[in-house]
């Protein structure tokens, strides 16, 4: 649940601030169930701190009978730093996470609430982020990339079956359960997730949110959307996994140009970077990054794709050191991307900048130790001019201002 600005359109949420009935909250007893110290911090931000904690009450179970493991992650949220709009969004996130019970989704076992703090008892995933694991590999091939895609697809197929749209699928939210070679990948951070089961349509959402570079074109085009936006994001990640740079980027850092490319699904398989990638892998990228969501496969269908389901379709040849180096470069762009996002928003509205700085601090503070680099992925320049959908300044500004985390 990273911090973010509070701007959002009607998204079909069942929660509204004025509908939350105020009830007295009793002091919680979380510290009689779990123990941790200030030395156990594994992450922190402006309004929340995450601890590695140990279960005191061995044999404790969730409401559905699942045995809670000995070691967990506890996220302690200071409610005094939350706005009146944040509380219902947080409640919705908790409600969604409490529905999840899948090997590829980080689980919320239980939560404790009192007047000032909220404690989320989460599954501990200690293996590190997806990109970190790849960077540390000595040999990296399509086999490893296909394994990651299969893990993502399993998580997203499960969410789609439960009518949940994640809306922020990106490498930072894909974490290995442990450091073991066969560890599973878990999808985390459900701060933007929506349950659409109450709607008749499969595409009932219309609010713009997410992370630039991973957002789907229908979201930018202000079209109704659903779970297929998560499949698009998986396609972006797969593209990076295979070549070491993103399918949609602008070397000058111009987000309006980035959004134009996404809107047109304008990407290429550049030579020589893609020359050694199998045709089956390229075919899957094309399918995942299909402009029309109705023609884009579901996550369940991705699991049936030959490149994902058949190991013989995956090349075992090393993709090359340049791919690992490129992935490292993409990972290190986070700080610069956050700064560019803040600058774009501040031009539009200084108040948005002030609010985003306060409530997006958790994400940005973790990035300040990363040295910004020039945004150059060493890909060939595309001399083709965009001849369609030439946006005027008003539309460009609208795009730049609307695509950011909303909670």
* Structural domains in the chain plus CATH codes: 17-122 (3.30.200.20), 130-333+373-402 (1.10.510.10)
pLDDT confidence of residue 334: 56
Q: Which CA distances in Å does 395 have to 1, 256, 390, 400?
A: 29, 9, 10, 9
User: What tokens were used for 236?
Assistant: 């972006």
pLDDT confidence of residue 284: 98
User: What would the DSSP string read from start to end of 250-264?
Assistant: -TT--HHHHHHHHHT
pLDDT confidence of residue 27: 55
**Among 85, 103, 288, which Cα is nearest to 187's?**
103
Under 8 Å between Cβ of 49 and 361: no
pLDDT confidence of residue 336: 53
Longest dimension (CA), the chain: 64
Read off the pTM: 0.78
Q: What is the mean pLDDT of each run of 10 residues along the chain (407 residues)?
A: 34 39 57 93 84 92 92 93 86 93 96 90 94 90 96 98 97 93 92 93 91 94 96 98 94 87 95 94 98 98 97 93 92 59 44 44 37 39 36 38 36
Distance CA 250, CA 232 (A): 19
Identify the residue whose tokens are 């076992």: 109
Helix (H, G, I), strand (E, B) or coil at 117: strand
User: What would the DSSP string read from start to end of 207-220?
Assistant: ---S-TTT--HHHH
Query: Half-sphere exposure of 226 toward its Cβ, with a 13 Å CA cutoff?
Result: 23
Helical spans, DSSP H, in 332-392:
334-348, 350-359, 361-365
Under 8 Å between Cβ of 1 and 189: yes
Q: Which residues are catalytic?
A: 168
Under 8 Å between Cβ of 107 and 101: yes
Number of H helices and E strands in the chain, helices first, is: 14, 10
């Amino acid at each position: 649940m990273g911090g973010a600005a509070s701007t959002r359109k009607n998204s079909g949420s069942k929660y509204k601030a004025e509908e939350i009935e105020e009830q007295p909250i009793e002091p919680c007893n979380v510290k009689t169930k779990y123990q941790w110290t200030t030395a156990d911090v594994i992450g922190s931000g402006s309004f929340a701190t995450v601890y590695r904690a140990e279960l005191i009450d061995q044999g404790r179970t969730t409401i559905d009978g699942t045995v809670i493991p000995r070691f967990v992650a506890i996220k302690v949220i200071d409610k005094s730093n939350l706005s009146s709009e944040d509380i219902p969004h947080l409640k919705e996130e908790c409600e969604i996470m409490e529905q999840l019970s899948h090997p590829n989704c980080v689980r919320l076992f239980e939560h404790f609430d009192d007047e000032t703090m909220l404690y989320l008892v989460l599954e501990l995933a200690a293996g590190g982020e997806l990109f970190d694991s790849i960077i540390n590999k000595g040999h990296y091939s399509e086999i490893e990339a296909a394994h990651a895609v299969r893990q993502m697809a399993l998580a997203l197929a499960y969410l789609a079956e439960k009518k949940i749209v994640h809306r922020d699928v990106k490498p930072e939210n894909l974490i290995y359960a442990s450091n073991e070679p066969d560890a599973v990948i878990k999808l985390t951070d459900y701060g933007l997730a929506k349950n659409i089961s109450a709607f008749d349509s499969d595409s009932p959402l219309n609010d713009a949110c997410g992370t630039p570079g991973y957002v789907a074109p229908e979201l930018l085009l202000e079209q109704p959307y659903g779970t297929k936006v998560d499949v698009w994001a998986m396609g972006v990640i797969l593209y990076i996994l295979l070549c070491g740079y993103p399918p949609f980027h602008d070397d000058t850092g111009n987000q309006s140009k980035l959004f134009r490319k996404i809107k047109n699904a304008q990407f290429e398989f550049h030579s020589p970077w893609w020359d050694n990638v199998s045709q089956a892998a390229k075919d899957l990228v094309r399918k995942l990054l299909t402009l029309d969501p109705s023609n884009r496969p579901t996550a369940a269908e991705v699991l049936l794709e030959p490149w994902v389901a058949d190991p013989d379709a995956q090349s075992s040849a090393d993709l090359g050191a340049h791919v690992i180096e490129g992935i490292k470069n993409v990972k290190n762009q986070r700080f610069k991307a956050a700064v560019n996002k803040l600058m774009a928003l501040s031009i539009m509205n200084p108040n948005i900048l002030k609010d985003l700085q306060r409530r997006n601090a958790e994400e940005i503070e973790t990035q300040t130790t990363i040295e910004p680099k020039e945004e150059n992925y060493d890909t060939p320049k595309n001399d083709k001019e965009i001849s369609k959908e030439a946006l005027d300044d008003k539309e460009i500004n609208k795009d730049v201002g609307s695509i950011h985390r909303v909670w």
